[in-house]
Amino acid sequence: MKRILIGFMALALSGQGWSQDSLSTHLTYDLMSEASVGSGDYTAFYLAANRHHTLGTRANTTSLRGVLHVEHPLGNNWLLSAGVDGIASVHADHRAYLQQCYVNLSYQSFHLEIGCRELPQVLRDNLLSTGSFTKGTNAKPIPQVRLGTNGFWTVPFTREWVQINFDFGYGKFLDSDYHEAASYIDGRLASAYVKDALFHQKHLYIRSNPEKPLFVTVGIEHAVQFGGTSYLLDHDELRVKKESAGLKAFWNVILPLGDSNYYEHDNSWEDWIFGNHLGSMTCQIGWNITPQHQLQAYLDNPFEDGSGIRKGNGWDGTRGLQYSNRASGRQTLRGAVFEYVQTTNQCGPLHWDGGDQPEPIRSQITDYVTGNDNYYNHGIYGSYVHYGMTPGNPLITSPIYNKDGRATYIDNRIKAWHLGVNGEVTDRLSYLVKGSYREGWGTYAFPLSEKHHSFDALFQADYVDGPWCLSGAFAFDKGNIYGDCATFYFKIGYHGKIL
């Protein structure tokens, strides 16, 4: 993947079009330095959450970051862009690494992209929301090949009433070493994991004209882990298996389907559904109170299989109310979000499928119960995680916080209440305030002996003066999830232009 990406960048950026019209090329850079210092075992939650895992979770860290971005129009509505982003850190989760490296070719409202890139959420407020269940902003970007739209595309011949936003891609997890290290305790395999797992993701959102007084958005996000080499204990014996990763596997994971005759095979329960699937469905209604003020209400429903898609998970999901102030100039209140997140039901505590069992049990017990969805965990792939952080909603505590180091989610049955607001104090000074209170009961298989709880808050100010940006923040946690943490955060950044 890296060789292909570098070759594509070199070929594209050194081509004939580049030399003929260098004046139309835009080459910019960003230099940033940030540091966190405080008390407690970790950097306070909201300084690490929903930031693409750049600052890290360890307490008292500092980093230097450099970003180079280039755009070159190719004519006839074609645009070529590329970016490279490197971070060097001290006492962080990672020391030095490429955070982003990508090439993007766009034509009008569509694009083809290769590489890893920090992607914003399509519907949720990236500053104020707790994030999506499936495709959030909490983990490092996963390298992939993507095809999609640039924002919402208005469907022709609908009189501008219908717009869609879609993304479709395949990629690869690069954190095999993390999974291997996190799955062994005292030299013994403690949880299943997969090395060199592949990744598939997509989303489709359909909305009516957002300029009308009322508009509606519906859609779905879907992510899959598949392929790779699986390691698990089968009757106390280590079993290693190469999972399917051929062209047929790429096709089979587009929808959560499996082998209809899976119960006739050895290790049949693996073929019931190919890969580890999860996703979320969204229903959202918006009201343009005035051209400048907008109010939206939404429900995101998570699913791990068909029972969740059928809404067998009760009240599970994210219910939110979002206010947006789109007026120009300084606005004391630019936006506000309130969310209630619940994941306690998971379609009930029991799951039974006779096809998962050998004969004669399969024929003797024919009852069928779909439940115990065990959000983000999986019997083969271990968990939906990237370098220890959940790619979804961070309120479900990421495995990187596990005291024993295991890469599984030990507390995915939660209830949480969240509020976030932001605005401008002056033309150059803005603020961000958000906080959450959450409670957790562990998992159905391993309930907690004591309820987890935490109150987490962030107070941040950003000052922008020309190319310079200064940020300062204070965040704290209070509870028994992350402990009592208090962190001061400082950042200085410079945006420059070469061409």
State whether residue 222 is helix, strand or coil: strand
Full strand arrangement of the beta sheet holding 193-195: 193-195, 229-234, 237-242
Distance in angstroms (rounded) separating the CA atoms of residues 66 and 31: 5
Q: How many residues does this entry show for the chain? A: 499
Identify how many contiguous H helices and E strands the chain contains and give both numbers.
7, 28
Which residue is associated with the tokens 């049955």?
413
Tell me which residue of 113, 82, 121 sits closest to 217, measured CA to CA.
Answer: 121
Which residue is associated with the tokens 């936006």?
335
Which residue is associated with the tokens 């049990």?
361
State how far the alpha carbon of 170 is from the alpha carbons of 6, 16, 196, 337, in Å. Answer: 18, 30, 13, 32
pLDDT at residue 454 in the model: 97
Please check the confidence at residue 200 and state whether its pLDDT lies above 90.
Answer: yes
pLDDT above 70: percentage of residues in the chain = 88
Position 19 confidence tier, pLDDT thresholds 50, 70, 90: very low
- Provide the residue type at 131 as one letter: G
Task: Decide the pairing of beta strands 237-242 and 229-234.
Answer: antiparallel
CB 32 within 8 A of CB 19: no
Please check the confidence at residue 258 and state whether its pLDDT lies above 90.
Answer: no
- For range 41-53, the mean pLDDT: 96
Alpha-carbon torsion, ordered 245, 251, 253, 254, to 10 deg: 150
Please check the confidence at residue 360 and state whether its pLDDT lies above 90.
Answer: no
Please check the confidence at residue 361 and state whether its pLDDT lies above 80.
Answer: no
Locate 437 and state its tokens: 């209170």
pLDDT tens by residue, 403-457: 888 899 999 999 999 999 999 999 999 999 999 999 999 999 999 999 999 999 9
Tell me which residue of 63, 120, 137 sits closest to 492, measured CA to CA.
Answer: 63
- The DSSP element (H or E) to which 176 belongs, if any, is helix 176-183
pLDDT at residue 1 in the model: 53
Please check the confidence at residue 497 and state whether its pLDDT lies above 80.
Answer: yes
Please check the confidence at residue 16 and state whether its pLDDT lies above 50.
Answer: no
Distance in angstroms (rounded) separating the CA atoms of residues 414 and 441: 6
- Provide the residue type at 264 as one letter: E
- For range 460-467, the mean pLDDT: 97
Please check the confidence at residue 151 and state whether its pLDDT lies above 80.
Answer: yes
Dihedral-angle region of residue 482 (phi above 0 means left; psi in -120 to 50 means alpha; beta otherwise): alpha
162 CB contacts (<8 Å, ≥6 apart)? 154, 155, 206, 207, 208, 209
* DSSP 8-state symbol, 211: T
Tell me which residue of 388, 445, 393 sits closest to 183, measured CA to CA.
Answer: 388
Distance in angstroms (rounded) separating the CA atoms of residues 88 and 66: 9
Please list, residue by residue across 309-330, b when 16 or more beta carbons sit within 10 angstroms of its beta carbon and e when fewer do: beebbeebbbebebbbbeeeee
Residue 188, beta-bridge partner list:
185
Which residue is associated with the tokens 């997140």?
341
Which residue is associated with the tokens 């923040």?
473
Alpha-carbon torsion, ordered 204, 134, 68, 85, to 10 deg: -150
Residue 154, beta-bridge partner list:
163
State how far the alpha carbon of 380 is from the alpha carbons of 209, 341, 467, in Å. Answer: 43, 27, 48
State whether residue 118 is helix, strand or coil: coil
Please check the confidence at residue 8 and state whether its pLDDT lies above 50.
Answer: no
pLDDT at residue 274 in the model: 81
- For range 26-43, the mean pLDDT: 96
Locate 217 and state its tokens: 């958005």
Q: Which tops the pLDDT comparison, 459 or 273? A: 459
- For range 55-69, the mean pLDDT: 94
Please check the confidence at residue 7 and state whether its pLDDT lies above 70.
Answer: no
Locate 321 and state its tokens: 């109310």
Radius of gyration of the chain (CA): 23
Tell me which residue of 411, 382, 406 sits closest to 396, measured CA to CA.
Answer: 411
Tell me which residue of 177, 166, 256 sits closest to 203, measured CA to CA.
Answer: 166
